Chains A and B, each alone.
Chain A
C-alpha cells in the first residue's frame, strides 16, 4: 500500500473493482431484458401454457353449449328400446319401421342423428346416420351406453344377476394399496411412488432446459464480444474474469427473471380465467375433458384446480419421501451449480472459436453427459437406487439432472452430500480452467486451437 498517501486521494473517485463487475452484470442483464425477443417470449410462454390447459376445456365447453343432440333410435334387436339414458346433451327417442322411411322423416323433424341398431344375431352392430357433422363425443356416448345396456342384459339373462348387485360386487373387489416408505430413522411415511417419479422427471427436465437455454446464451455472448472485436477494449478496462463473471451472473439473472415472470403470469392468467369462467374447472368439465383426450395425459395437472389451494401444499408435502422444502433447496442448488458449471465451460468454448458453427466440436464433450443424463431419465426414475442412478448422480456433469430425478424417491443423505460436494469441487475446477482458457482464447483469432494447444494455455502465466 505504498501509494496510500498521495495517490489514494486521486483514485478514490474511481469505482472499486467489484463495482465494475456490477456494471458488466447490469449491461448483460438490461440489454437482454430489453430485447424484443425476450419480451415476446416472456409474455407468450405463460399465455401458451395457460392456453394448453384452458383450451381443451374451453373447446369442449363451447362445443357442448352449442350441441344438444336429439337421437332417434331404430332398434331392430329390441334390447335397447327405452333403455338409453337421457342427459344434458343427449335426448333419445324411439321409433320402429322402415329405416329408409324413418331416415327421410327424422332429419326433417329436427333429429340430429338416426341410430340404427341391427338385429343382434351377428353381435352388436349399429349404424349412426347424420347430416353435416357428427357431434363430438356422440359416438362414444352411444357405444358406452350400448355396452352397459347389453352387458346388463347378459348378466340378467345368462347369469341371472341383477345389475345393481353386480355393481356392488365390482366395488367390493376393487383393490387399493398405499405405498409406505420407511426412512433411515425408521419413520414410516405414506407417499405415492408414481407421483415421485413424475415430479422427479419434471425437475430433471426443467434443470436440463434451463442449463441448455441459458448456458448457450453465455456461449453466444462470449462469441459476440469476440467476433465483433469489442473484447480487447473491454479487457483493457476490466479483468477478463470480471467480464466472465458479469456475463454469467447477468444471464443467470435474466433466466431467473424470466422464470419468475412465467410463474407469476401463468398463475395470474389462470386465476383470471378461473374467476371469469369458474364453471370451466368444475369437476364435471374436467372429467369430460379427461375422458375425451383418450389417455388423459393431454390435460396438465393444473386442470385439477378444484382442490382447495390451502391443501395443495400439505398434499404435496405428503407425497414425497423427503420434505418438500428440502427438494426445493436441492433444486435451487443443482440449478445454480449446474448452470454455473455448464456456463463457465461454454464460455471457455465460446472464447476458443471465431464462429458459432465451429463451437460444436468443442461443446460436444461437455454437452454429451448432459444429453446422456436426459436419455437415462426414464430408467433412473423407475430404478432410482440402481448403480446407474448412483454413478450418474455422482458425476458432476450429469448429477444436476440425475439427482433431481432421484431425489423425490428418497436418497441417502451421504449420497446427496457427496454429490453436492463433487459438483462444487468440479465447479471450482471448471471456473479455474475456463478462466484460463477464456483469457487467452478471446484474443486468439484465426486458426482453431487444438486440444493440445488449449492444454498448454492452462499452464501459461
Chain B
C-alpha cells in the first residue's frame, strides 16, 4: 500500500493547510510563529475568507509572514499595523483584515496605534505574539520582558527601577468599549493549539459581524532569544510567563 492509497482510505488526519505555502520557514526551531501561521491559514480557508483577507505584517520576526500565507498582504512600518489595517478595512468593510504583531511592535512603538484602533472599535483582528523579547534584532528587552529576565539590553536582568514594569497591555485593551473579544492563548500543547484556533475563529467571526476589534494574544516562546531548547522554553513559559500573563478570555465575546 503506497502513501496515496492510505490517504484515500480516509486515514489521513493532517495535511498542510491549503493557504500555507510549501516552503522552508525562516523561524527558529521551537518558535510559536509557525503554529500561529498555520492556524490563521486554516481559519481563513475554513471561513471562506481567502479572497477578502488582507493581512498586515509587522516589523519583527513575522515581517515575512507574507511569504507563508497565500493571501494579500501589506507590510507595515514598525508599530503602525493597526493604523494601516484601519484604512484597509474602512475603505472596504467586506474585507477580512488582521494585523499580526509582536510585543515590541504592538506594545512599545505601536502603543498609540494599538490603543486608538481598539478604542475606535475598528473591525480588525489583532493577533499579538507575546514572547517577552525582541527576536528579530537579537534578543533585546521588550515592553513585556519579565522582571529579572535577562536580555541583550538587560544583561543582568530587567530591573523595574531602571526599565519600568512589564507592560500588561491586553487587559488594558479589554477595558476599552471598542473591543468585542479579547483573549490570551498559547500554542505549546496540542490542547492549547486547538483552543487558540477556536479563539482565532471567534475573533474573525466577531469582526466580520462588525462587533468591534478582536484581540488574540498568544503567549509564545523564543528559544533563540531566551537561549533555551524548545522543550525547555515551553517549561520556562509555563513557569514564568503564564503567572504574569494568565491564559483565558479577558473579554468574552457577547
Tell whether A and B belong to one assembly.
no
